[in-house]
A and B are shown apart, each in its own frame.
Chain A
Amino acid sequence: MMNGRPVAEEDLHAYVDDALPTARRNEIEQYLKLHPEISVKVEAYRRQRDDLRARLAPMAEEPIPPELNLARMIAARHRPSRMPLWRSAAAAIILLGTGGVGGWAFHGSMAPQLTGVAALAQEAAYTYSVYSPDHAHPVQIKATNRADLVNWISARLHSQVVVPDLSKAGFRFMGGSLVATPQGPAGMLMYDNDHGIRIVLLVREMYDNIDMNTSKMLPYVKGPVTGFSWAHNGMGYSLTGAASPDILHPLANDVRAQISPTI
């Protein structure tokens, strides 16, 4: 032949896959008629493709096992405590490592772009789920070195940190740590009660000019973890733990009143 574009190997494979526009397809058919040795090759590719499809077709007709029942998987998600927070965090980290997954149609889907108090609430939940189960070293500095802890965290947060007293509700101050958030350093203060229930108060500066003063409590519930978060004078606070909202909400109100008596 041919008056048209020269035939590329790619054309032959696209021909095998029926992926050519009609005009090009006709050209290739003409070409193959004139070149029987290449036509034999293309036929071999085509037969290989057909054979593979035939061999693998039964696999796509097998019954789906119960653990891949989508409706049940969705229902299970809405049941509390199905997947520990650390596992979803770990999954997110793995996905970040694989690349391509998020880049392609889902910008930002790896790390939901929360802002303001909502972001703080999520950070508090992660912090809680990482540090509260730790039996050996739940806090970096224990309550016995309270002054050290308060000075250190206050310096890092550029703001005087107050350690609220929750003893009336049966919670003792255990100590605290400096933790990392996407927004910078945060102070974590941990408390526990006689039943071994731990709660954390996360404190950090509000950076993004959103929710700098949100005295209204923002509730956060994910699985067993509950949190109440607010902001005052550019500082954000979140009281978070595996306790029911009935217990945690009045405690959060108490904390807010102790830190910011003016609200």
Chain B
Amino acid sequence: MKNDIILIVEPLIPHLRRYARVLVRDQAGADDLVQDCLEHMISRWHQRRADGNARAWAFTILHNLAVNAMRQKSRRGEHTPIEDADESQFAQGPSQQEGLYRRDLLKGLEALSEEHRSVILLVSIEDLSYAETASVLGVPIGTVMSRLARAREKLLVWMEGATPVASVPPSGTVNLRRIK
């Protein structure tokens, strides 16, 4: 059992860490979730169906743990519901040169709701099939498709929302507002 589980599960760990970290937006908390996820997998490995899909199983456990953790956090009031939040909370300030021209894609990902973020991560980043993604999220495939479409559109709009590219002069020649 031991070699089997290491062979199959160990290569997943970097991906599980990445998924948890981007989903919950908290690095230390994310690694705790991955640790819990691995504990669950180790303790239930012998009950696993031989033809089961270990990768989808791992993401399912991790996703449920993450959603639970986020719910607990929001119950304690530490969490801002993203959909309601002012986008400027997540936007990068224009102090960095890059920020002047282009919004940061990862900030945009953070600004999405957890539902939209998870579907983009599973499909676009972790290369799960639509069917696997549906089983991880516990929703029908149709819901995966519609969430994916909406998530991508929102992220595009968010990125475009930042680009007064043509109207912003090169950073060297920005005219500071005169302060009297």
Contact = CB atoms under 8 A, between A and B. Distances in A.
A97 interface: yes
A98 B66 CA distance: 10
Contacts of B22: 56, 59
Contacts of B44: 106, 109
Contacts, number: 127
Interface residues of B, number: 53
Contact of B35 (A10, A62, A68, A108): A68
Interface string A1-28: 0000000011001101101000000000
A49 to B, nearest CB: 5
Describe B's contact surface by its main secondary structure.
helix
A52 B105 contact: yes
Describe A's contact surface by its main secondary structure.
helix
B123 interface: yes
A67 interface: yes
Interface stretch (A69-77, A184-192, A193-201, A249-257): A69-77
* CB-CB nearest 10 A-B residue pairs: A98-B64, A100-B138, A60-B14, A105-B52, A109-B47, A59-B18, A10-B145, A49-B124, A60-B18, A109-B44
B120 interface: yes
Given A13-B145, A73-B39, A52 B120 contact: yes
Interface of A: 9-10, 13-14, 16-17, 19, 44-45, 48-49, 51-53, 55-56, 59-62, 64-65, 67-68, 70-71, 73-74, 77, 83, 88, 91, 94-95, 97-101, 103-106, 108-109, 112
B40 A53 contact: no
B68 interface: yes
Contacts of A16: 152
A52 B130 CA distance: 18
A68 B17 contact: yes
B5 A56 contact: no
B48 interface: yes
Interface of B: 2, 5-6, 9-10, 13-15, 17-18, 21-22, 31, 34-36, 38-40, 42-44, 47-49, 52-53, 56-57, 60-61, 64-65, 67-68, 105-106, 109, 120, 123-125, 129-130, 135, 138, 145, 148-149, 152, 155-156, 159
20 contacts: A13-B145, A16-B152, A48-B152, A49-B152, A59-B21, A59-B22, A64-B13, A64-B17, A67-B31, A70-B13, A71-B2, A73-B39, A74-B6, A95-B64, A97-B68, A98-B68, A100-B64, A100-B138, A105-B57, A106-B52
B149 A9 contact: yes
B13 A74 contact: no
Nearest to B39: A73
A74 B38 CA distance: 9
A101 B64 contact: yes
Contacts of A55: 105-106
A112 B10 contact: no
